[in-house]
Amino acid sequence: MFIHLGGNKMIRASEVITILDAGGRKSPTTLAPFLNETGNQGRLERISDLEEVKSFVVTRTIVYASPISSLTLMKRADLEGNRAMGETINGDPEKKEDKE
């Protein structure tokens, strides 16, 4: 399954190691060394220059700066994972999710 990160960027859900929130009071200070090093290595990809970065999606090779909130991305990743595993709706194995 794929996760839409914003703009025209989609990645495989299986590539995601973690999704970090770019907001919050502590995030910029805590993430700065990691983001600086990733940028210096050429492994930081900003998805949109026009929109504010709301989250960072970390994979083995690239860190994506996404304009989509970390909560939304995590919901998308979880939803895709649950669909892939054939999760039922409301615990009823007969009712599978029909809508996208």
Distances from the Cα of 3 to the Cα of 37, 65, 85, angstroms: 25, 14, 16
The residue segments making up the domain with residue 28 are: 2-84
* Residue labelled with tokens 């960072």: 56
| 99 within a domain of the structure (yes/no) | no
| 28 within a domain of the structure (yes/no) | yes
pLDDT at residue 79 tops 50? yes
The stretch 8-28 carries a mean pLDDT of 84
- 27 pLDDT tier (thresholds 50, 70, 90): low
The stretch 32-56 carries a mean pLDDT of 94
Number of domains in the chain: 1
SS3 assignment, position 77: helix
pLDDT at residue 30 tops 80? no
Confidence (pTM): 0.74
| 39 within a domain of the structure (yes/no) | yes
